[in-house]
Structure 1
Amino acid sequence: MGICLDELRRMVIRPTLKHLRAWSAGMEELLLGTAAQESQLGFHLKFGRRHGLGIYQIQPHTHRRIWDDYLIHHPALASKVRGLASQHDFLQHPHSELATNLRYATAIALLVYRAADIDIPDPGDIAGMARIWHRVFHHGPVATARDFELSYARLVSGAPATDSTPRYTEGARPYPPAEARNSPGARLPSHPQGQPLA
């Protein structure tokens, strides 16, 4: 399981798009679908020997092309994107930001689509999103637009609403109340063989 869908939407993708003045429901859904197809919503940040990184599996040469061929012509936008990157690590290891910085990776993924001058799809047009992803974002001969549709259906539109409260001890017996555990007459827990723990 990757990142919680609702949290990825509300805490990463939507605020990043709004920060860059690029929010639309269609672009939000396209980026969610891209993350679902490329990394199973963040389950993988690097697939074996593949060169892509992060939840969108952006390749270093694509990252470099966005800066060298697109952002160079949009200095105000470049400044906003650079503001999403870390201060020092970006200068030494710029591509690692794609794996470690969700908002920065989202901005670059947006710009991959924007640099291709796409028409933003309607939020319900999954087949249209799949075609755009396959034409602009997909690398290699293996995956198809149908794969995008299936990933979207399974991880985005088919995902249940979540209660994102952490459950660290799911299935475990709850502890007795603190006063029962710590009262002067409380018994020590037993060792598996029935002997009190020392």
Structure 2
Amino acid sequence: MGICASELRQWVIKPTLKRLGVYSKAAENLLLATAAQESGLGSHLKPAGQRALGIYQIHSLAHRHIWDDYLALHSDMASLVRGLASQHDFLTQPHAELATNLSYATAIAWFMYARNENFSLPKSNDIEAMAVLWKRFYHPKSKSSTKDFCKNFEHYVIAEEVAA
């Protein structure tokens, strides 16, 4: 069983995006849908045989690229993201933060998208367009399809909102 979608939205994604100064309902839905697609909203933080970690299933190499190729060039944003990380653990095991620190992982997941020059958010309810962004910028080599992305959003997010 994963994390409650509405709680992840309210207590992690929304405050993190606001802290970064990039909040929008579309950004919130994109990250919620990404977590639904990648880990079933946290059903697995490190699937067997996989090297990616956390609810967003971020690979350590991608994590390093976010820091070296994007945040290093945006010092104000890097400072905000570093402020989300654990004081001591980040220095000794930075990639573990992707599994143990939801706010930090959310910020890194955001930059998996936002670091791309041609990235722009669709309307907040356009999950099909978000699926295209996911496939293009977040996980282009995934065997899953944009249809799978939409189905997972429906299953993990919409179904919970309807039931609540």
How is 1:167-178 mapped onto 2 (pairs within 5 angstroms)? none
Q: 1:109 to 1:98 in 2, by over 3 A?
A: same
How is 1:118-137 mapped onto 2 (pairs within 5 angstroms)? 118-137=119-138
- CA deviation profile, 1:33-53 (whole Å, cap 9, x unmatched): 000000000110011111110
Conservation of the 8 A alpha-carbon contact between 1:134 and 1:145: yes
How is 1:60-99 mapped onto 2 (pairs within 5 angstroms)? 60-99=60-99
Matched residues in 2 for 1:139 and 1:113: separation?
A: 12
Alignment-mate amino acid for residue 154 of structure 1: H
Conservation of the 8 A alpha-carbon contact between 2:132 and 2:146: yes
Higher Cα Rg: structure 1 or 2? 1
Question: Which residue matches 1:150?
Answer: 151
Higher relative contact order (CA 8 A, sep 6+): 2
SS at match of 2:58: coil
How is 1:35-50 mapped onto 2 (pairs within 5 angstroms)? 35-50=35-50
Conservation of the 8 A alpha-carbon contact between 1:6 and 1:162: no
Matched residues in 2 for 1:11 and 1:99: separation?
A: 17
Deviation beyond 4 Å, 4+ runs, structure 1: none
Gaps of 5+ in 1: 164-198
2:104 pairs with 1:104: yes
**What is the CA RMSD across the aligned residues, in angstroms?**
1.2
How is 1:179-198 mapped onto 2 (pairs within 5 angstroms)? none
Conservation of the 8 A alpha-carbon contact between 2:6 and 2:161: no
Identity of aligned residues (%): 52
Quote how far apart the aligned CAs of 1:138 are.
1.2
Matched residues in 1 for 2:61 and 2:133: separation?
A: 20
TM-score using structure 2 length: 0.96
Matched residues in 2 for 1:141 and 1:31: separation?
A: 17
